[in-house]
Amino acid sequence: MNARLPRTQPSPLPARIRAGLAAAMLAALALGLAPRPAAAQAGVVAGRVVDAESGQPVNEALVELIAGGRERVAFTNCDSDGRFRITDAPAGTYSLVFSRLGYEIRRLDGVSLGLAPTDIGAVTMVSRELRMNPIVVTPSRGEEKALKAPASTYVVSSRDVEERPATSSAEHVRSVPGVDVASSGLLQHSVVARGFNNVLSGSLMVLTDNRWASVPSLRVNTYSLIPTTNEDVERIEMVLGPGSALYGPNVANGVMHVLTRSPLTHQGTTFSGLVGERDVAQLSGRHASRIGERAAFKLSGNFFHGREWEYVDPVEKAQRDAALAGGASPDTLRIGARDADVLRFGGEGRVDVKLGDRTDLVLSSGFSQMGSGIELTGLGAVQAKD
């Protein structure tokens, strides 16, 4: 006997639910077919990089698209015709940074990318001189190419000096290969080119315009007392080998030679200021002018103030307390009474007279005074006054 079961019918959805589902499907379909907003569109920027002087294309220049001042969004390189094209960048406002070896870095701010491609046209880059074989005088006491010098020589150019804020000449040789610079205060530095560094090191021969720049009575290099200002430095030559054959005994550990600008070739007035933490304030300047056709003079000066890192020596404190307990006057007791304020000022004057094609008469005089400071020595920290 065959029995047929009744077919079960699904219960129909309520009309309200069916209407909601239909509306949701229509909304999803509308979102899928609608165009994307402009902020999500990919922007395109293109242009051409040329030399500012010759107008020739600069190939292989790196072009970076920067957002927010630092974040690199995209980058590319210029082709052989100097053209570049950056695609798939989100719409917005960016900066374009152009860089290439032998050229100064160029930056364009406020470049807007939208739906339409952005063409910035021609971008000029200024070539930068690369001194691969500069003229030096220190290794042989005469002008010669650095590659022909009889010793390993490194030159810190005037451009390098201008780009680095410094409180003394020792700051400019920090990046020189083979040179060790140790700082023991705001102004105090120890520099060696060969051997080991130590406190109050005097092994390096230091010259300023062919004159000794060390303290002869102590045989130490006090770079903070060299009156030469940053504005007056033409270049710094570092000889990394021995120089006793030219400069006498005790020059086995290299030579540091600071050469200043001649007023015959560099006229004008320059002032600069520097401020920083620890109440650091530095003001320096230079003025040079001609006196007729064959003579010129220059004046330079500097002022520095800061507050040194303070340290209380427990041995000095114990001795000071014992002396005070024994009846010593706190007004005259010098043990442990250190002045953390650093004060330095100085100036220099020079007159150059051209006597012939290869002969110059140079008259130079200057002074430098440490009003207050702390100098580390092999016996401990000493207080300098005037």
The top-scoring range by mean pLDDT among 8-22, 116-130, 289-303, 371-385 is 289-303
| DSSP secondary structure, 142-155, as one string | S-EEGGGSSS-EEE
- Judged against a pLDDT cut of 60, whether residue 384 lies above it is answered with yes
Proportion of the chain above pLDDT 70, given as a percent = 88
CB 339 within 8 A of CB 383: yes
Average pLDDT score over residue span 225-248: 90
- Judged against a pLDDT cut of 70, whether residue 16 lies above it is answered with no
Average pLDDT score over residue span 144-159: 86
- Judged against a pLDDT cut of 60, whether residue 173 lies above it is answered with yes
Average pLDDT score over residue span 235-258: 89
The pLDDT-based confidence of 323 (bands split at 50, 70, 90) is very high
Burial of 330 from C-beta contacts in 10 A (0-12 / 13-18 / 19+): exposed
CA distance 57 to 50: 4
Output the pLDDT for position 34. Answer: 46
Average pLDDT score over residue span 58-82: 90
Output the pLDDT for position 98. Answer: 95
**Mean pLDDT of the residues in the chain:** 85
DSSP percent split of the chain into helix, strand, coil, nearest 5: 15, 45, 40
Domains of the chain: 39-125 (2.60.40.10), 135-260 (2.170.130.10), 268-385 (no CATH)
Proportion of the chain above pLDDT 90, given as a percent = 42
- Judged against a pLDDT cut of 90, whether residue 15 lies above it is answered with no
Sign of the dihedral through C-alpha 154, 156, 160, 165: positive
Q: Minimum mean pLDDT among 163-172, 214-223, 257-266: which range? A: 214-223
- Judged against a pLDDT cut of 50, whether residue 359 lies above it is answered with yes
Q: Minimum mean pLDDT among 36-40, 98-102, 350-354: which range? A: 36-40
Burial of 98 from C-beta contacts in 10 A (0-12 / 13-18 / 19+): buried
CA distance 39 to 47: 23
- Judged against a pLDDT cut of 90, whether residue 337 lies above it is answered with no
Output the pLDDT for position 303. Answer: 96
Average pLDDT score over residue span 128-141: 80
